[in-house]
Amino acid sequence: MKSIILGLCLLSFVALADSPPECNSDYPLNAAEKGIEGYVLMKFSISKEGKPVDIEVINAEPANVFDEVSICSLSKWVYKPKLVDGKPVKQEGLKVQLDWTLE
């Protein structure tokens, strides 16, 4: 019985380890209250599984206001992996800019 419980605990731990971290990709409340708008330019790769990885902020205006929410937003995207000879490959050196504007 103890080994079954231990096994279930280990399976739960592995499942949690593969889950993406929870993050908030909403417009930052502090920036919204102050009427701040901006952008974040990021460099990233797409894994063989189609997930954005190796995300880095290249440029942001204003600095450090939208960085965290931009990384969070991009990390939730899903891509169809690039296939080479029928096998998925990692794509590197991609860039995207997220613009943060109030309406």
Q: pLDDT tens for residues 30-82?
A: 999 999 999 999 999 999 999 999 999 999 999 999 999 999 999 999 999 99
Rg of the chain over Cα atoms, rounded to whole angstroms, equals 18
Least confident of 6-15, 24-33, 56-65, 89-98: 6-15
Instruction: Report the alpha-carbon distance of residue 88 to residue 3 in Å, rounded.
Output: 38
Question: What pLDDT does residue 26 have?
Answer: 93
Which of 98, 45, 32 is closest to 68 using CA atoms?
Answer: 98
Domains identified in the chain and CATH numbers? 24-100 (3.30.2420.10)
Question: What pLDDT does residue 80 have?
Answer: 95
Instruction: Report the alpha-carbon distance of residue 74 to residue 35 in Å, rounded.
Output: 23
Question: What pLDDT does residue 10 have?
Answer: 33
Question: What pLDDT does residue 1 have?
Answer: 46
Above 50 in pLDDT, residue 17? no
**Cis peptide preceding 52, ω within 30 of 0:** no
Question: What pLDDT does residue 8 have?
Answer: 35
